[in-house]
Structure 1
Amino acid sequence: MINIEQEKSINQQIKKKSLAQKYFLWLQPCEIWCLLRKKTQFNSTIYDCIQSGLENPDAICGLYATDGDCYELFRCLFWPVIMDYHKIDIRNLIFKHDFGDYHDIQDLSSEINQQILSIRIRIDRSIQHYPMIPKLTVDQLLEIEERVRTTLEHLDDDLQGDYHSLKDLNEMDQIKLRERSILFQEPIDRYLESAGVYNHWPNGRGFSINKDENFIIWVNEEDHLSFIAQSNDSKMNETYERMIRAINQIHQAFEFQQHQRLGYLNFSPLNIGTALQVNVHIKLNHTEKLDELIEFSKKYDIHLENTNEKNIFNLSNIIRLGRTEFHIIRSMWNGIQQIIEQDINQNIN
C-alpha cells in the first residue's frame, strides 16, 4: 500500500502543471478555438500534440510534435513552452549550425584524464517529408529502415556495421544489448506510449554498431535517426570527429527537418536546436563537497548527477538551443576540466 508521504508526493506532482498545461491556460478562448480547427499536412491536430500531457498530468513538458509543421502551425503553444524550458527568447533567434573543427578540442592533462571514464555523444535527426514517429504508417517505418540500411553501406569502413532489425532479435539478445547500452530501451515509458511513439512496435526499428563499438545508429526509436559516438577514454576530439563524419555522410542521402529559428526539429520540443546530448562519466574523489560541486557545474551549463556506481558521476550539457554544436562541445569540455580540477584541489568556490 502507498503510505501517507508517498500519496502526498504523488498528489503534489499531479497538482503541478506541465509546461503545456501552463501555457494552454494562458491562451484566449479565440486562440484555443483557432488551434482546435487547425491541421497540418499530415493531419496532426493540437490534441495529438497534448494527448500525452492530458493522460499524464505529472509530465514536465506534456507537449510533443507529431510532425515538423506543428512547431509553426501551433506556435502559440509550442513557442512559449520552448522559451520556458530552454530559457531563451526565440522570437529573434536565428539558428546557426556549426560543427567547427574537432582539432580545436584540446586533450586534457594526464591527471585530469585519469578521472574521465567514458564519453557518449548523441545527436537526433528527423528526416524531411515524413511525419514524426506517432504519425508514421507501418510502410513508412519500414521504408525509413530500408533507406537507412542501404545508406549505411556507403559509410567509411570504420563506421560501418551490420544492421539489426528489432523484430529479428530474441528477448535474451535484446536484454544483453541494452545492458551494454547498444540497444534503446524497451517500450515502457508511459509518456511516450500515450504520445504514440510505440505505434506498430517493433516494426521499422533497429540499430547498427561498428566493429569497434564506438559508433551506433538507432532507427525509429523516438526520432527517425539517433547517432551515437562513444569512447571508454578521454578522447573527446576523436569521439566528436566520428560524430561529425558520420552525420555529414548520412546527410548526403537524407534531408533533415530544420527551422530557421528552432534549428533541427524532433519529436520532443525539449530536444531541438542542435539536438546534441553529451554525457561524460567521471570519477570524483571528494564527494563530501558534492552539493558545492553541483552548483559550481551550473556555471558551465553542466548538469552533474550521481550514477548507480560509487563515486562515479554523469556530466551532461544543459543547453541544446541558442548555441552551435561546436560551442556546446567546447564549453562543456572546458567546464569538465574546471570541475575535475576543483575536485582534485578540493577548492570549490
Structure 2
Amino acid sequence: MLDKHLSHTLSDWMQQETEQPIILSSRIRLARNLENFVHPLMYDEQTALEVLEEVSAVLKPHYEEVRLSALDKNERQILVIKHLVSKELLAQDHGAVFLNEDESVSIMVNEEDHIRIQVLGPELSLDELYSKALAVDSLIDEKLTLSFDETLGYLTTCPTNIGTGLRASVMLHLPGLSIMNRMGRIAQAINRFGYTIRGIYGEGTQALGHVYQVSNQLTLGKTEEAIIEDLKQIVEQIITEEEGMRKRLKDYDYIETADRVYRSLGVLKYAQLITAEEASLRLSELKMGIDMGIVEPMPFRFNELMVAIQPPFLATLEEAIPVNEKRAKMLREHL
C-alpha cells in the first residue's frame, strides 16, 4: 500500500464528483504524549526508538506503519505535500506515520509531541472528524498512559497546545477576499477570538493559490466542542464574505475579472515554462472563473492539480527536463 500513498496525488477521501467552490477540506488534530517519556525535543536516539516501538505495538494492527528512515528525500516531501505528515516530522531521525487505506487518518509519532492524531475530510465535517479522532485516541489510551493533568488537561511540548490538545482547521479557497485585499482585516478580526489564518501548509507557509487554513490558536479554557462550534461559525462568516466579494467582482468588475480568469486559462493552456507559485495562482483564478460561471465547466480538479504541480511529484517525470517545463507540459495536457 505504500506505493499507493506515494504515487497517487489525490487521497481516496478527496475523490468527489464535484469540488466545492470555497471549502476544500477539514482537519482535526489531537496532540498527545506518553507519561513515562520526556518530550521529543529532549530525546536521545534510544528514547525515540522506545516511544516508536510502544506506539507501533498499539497502532500497527490497525494502520500501515511508514517509517521515515525507509523513505528518500523526495518520498518524504510527497507525504508533506499530501498533508499526511508535517514538515517538522521530517526533521526527526526516528519519525513515523501510521496511515489508513484512504489516507483520511494519519498518526504521526515523534514529531513535536509523541503522538499527533490527524483526521481529514471533505467540506465542513469537523464534528464527524472529531468523532473519528476520538476513536483513535481511545484506542491509544486503552493501551498506553497519556500525560494528563486534572487541572491543565493534556500536557504537550508547546504550551499553546496544553488543555484539549485540539487543533481544528478548515482549508478555504478565498480568491475574492485576496483580490480585494481583505485577508488582513479578516485575520485581525478572528485573531481576537483565538483563531488564526495560515498558508496552505500551516504555520509559516504562504497562501499558494489563494488557499488558506483557518484554525484555533488556543486549546486551554474551552471544551473541544466549543472550539469546533466557534470555528464553524467563523468559517461560515468567512464564506459569506467571500461570496459577497465574488458577487461584487462579477457585478461591478466583470470585464477585469473575466480578463483575469481568461488570461490564467491561456497561460495554463499554452505556457512552456511555469513555476509552482504562478501555476497555483493561475489554477486558483481558473477555479474562481468556473465557480462564478465566467468560464464553461471543464475537466478540472483543483485539489488534485495543486498537488500534482509540486516538485516532489514532478521529479518522477522525465528526469532530463527542467521542473518548470515538466509542470507546464503536464498542465497543457490536462487542459
Where does residue 28 of structure 2 map in the other structure? 121
Instruction: Kindly provide the amino acid, as one letter, of the partner of residue 106 in structure 2.
Output: I
- What SS does the corresponding residue of 1:321 show, helix, strand or coil? coil
**Structure 1 segments (4+ residues) deviating >4 Å:** none
Task: Work out whether residues 88 and 111 of structure 2, in 8 Å CA contact, stay in contact via their aligned partners in 1.
Answer: no
User: Deviation of residue 225 (structure 1)?
Assistant: 0.5
Equivalent of 1:231, from 121, 130, 144?
121
Task: Work out whether residues 271 and 320 of structure 1, in 8 Å CA contact, stay in contact via their aligned partners in 2.
Answer: yes
Instruction: Kindly provide the amino acid, as one letter, of the partner of residue 227 in structure 2.
Output: I
Tell me if 1:184 matches 2:86. Answer: yes
CA 304–153 in structure 1, closer or farther in 2 if over 3 Å, else same: closer
Partner Cα distance (1:292, 1:269) in 2: 27
- What SS does the corresponding residue of 1:234 show, helix, strand or coil? coil
Partner Cα distance (2:88, 2:225) in 1: 32
Task: Work out whether residues 215 and 227 of structure 1, in 8 Å CA contact, stay in contact via their aligned partners in 2.
Answer: yes
Partner Cα distance (1:212, 1:187) in 2: 21
Task: Work out whether residues 89 and 112 of structure 2, in 8 Å CA contact, stay in contact via their aligned partners in 1.
Answer: no
Tell me if 1:274 matches 2:164. Answer: yes
CA 167–234 in structure 1, closer or farther in 2 if over 3 Å, else same: same
User: Deviation of residue 125 (structure 1)?
Assistant: 0.6
Partner Cα distance (1:172, 1:295) in 2: 37
- What SS does the corresponding residue of 1:176 show, helix, strand or coil? helix
Where does residue 187 of structure 2 map in the other structure? 294
Q: Return 312-321 or 130-139, whichever deviates more.
A: 130-139
Instruction: Kindly provide the amino acid, as one letter, of the partner of residue 212 in structure 1.
Output: D
1:19-45 C-alpha deviation (Å, 9 max, x unpaired): xxxxxxxxxxxxxxxxxxxxxxxxxxx
Partner Cα distance (1:296, 1:325) in 2: 22
User: Deviation of residue 130 (structure 1)?
Assistant: 1.3
Task: Work out whether residues 301 and 332 of structure 1, in 8 Å CA contact, stay in contact via their aligned partners in 2.
Answer: no
- What SS does the corresponding residue of 1:218 show, helix, strand or coil? strand
CA 279–138 in structure 1, closer or farther in 2 if over 3 Å, else same: same
Where does residue 17 of structure 1 map in the other structure? none
Identity %: 24
CA 310–164 in structure 1, closer or farther in 2 if over 3 Å, else same: closer
Trace 1:250-329 onto structure 2 (pairs within 5 A): 250-284=140-174, 285-287=176-178, 288=180, 289-298=182-191, 300-305=193-198, 307-329=206-228
User: Deviation of residue 318 (structure 1)?
Assistant: 2.3
CA 286–134 in structure 1, closer or farther in 2 if over 3 Å, else same: closer
User: Deviation of residue 246 (structure 1)?
Assistant: 0.9
Partner Cα distance (2:216, 2:69) in 1: 33
CA 326–187 in structure 1, closer or farther in 2 if over 3 Å, else same: closer
Tell me if 1:175 matches 2:77. Answer: yes
User: Deviation of residue 290 (structure 1)?
Assistant: 2.9
CA 144–305 in structure 1, closer or farther in 2 if over 3 Å, else same: closer
- What SS does the corresponding residue of 1:286 show, helix, strand or coil? helix
1:218-253 C-alpha deviation (Å, 9 max, x unpaired): 111111101111124332222222111111111111
Where does residue 324 of structure 2 map in the other structure? none
Task: Work out whether residues 300 and 335 of structure 1, in 8 Å CA contact, stay in contact via their aligned partners in 2.
Answer: no
Instruction: Kindly provide the amino acid, as one letter, of the partner of residue 344 in structure 1.
Output: E
Tell me if 1:146 matches 2:48. Answer: no
RMSD between aligned residues: 2.6
Larger helix share, 1 or 2: 2
User: Deviation of residue 339 (structure 1)?
Assistant: 2.2
1:246-291 C-alpha deviation (Å, 9 max, x unpaired): 1111111112111233221111222211121122111223331333
Trace 1:1-349 onto structure 2 (pairs within 5 A): 114-154=21-61, 160-185=62-87, 201-203=92-94, 205-284=95-174, 285-287=176-178, 288=180, 289-298=182-191, 300-305=193-198, 307-345=206-244
CA 207–265 in structure 1, closer or farther in 2 if over 3 Å, else same: same
User: Deviation of residue 117 (structure 1)?
Assistant: 0.7
Task: Work out whether residues 194 and 216 of structure 2, in 8 Å CA contact, stay in contact via their aligned partners in 1.
Answer: yes
CA 186–335 in structure 1, closer or farther in 2 if over 3 Å, else same: closer
- What SS does the corresponding residue of 2:26 show, helix, strand or coil? strand
Partner Cα distance (2:75, 2:155) in 1: 32
Tell me: higher relative CO, structure 1 or 2? Use CA pairs within 8 A at least 6 residues apart: 1
Structure 1 unaligned segments of length 5 or more: list them. Answer: 1-112, 155-159, 189-197
Instruction: Kindly provide the amino acid, as one letter, of the partner of residue 140 in structure 1.
Output: T
Instruction: Kindly provide the amino acid, as one letter, of the partner of residue 292 in structure 1.
Output: R
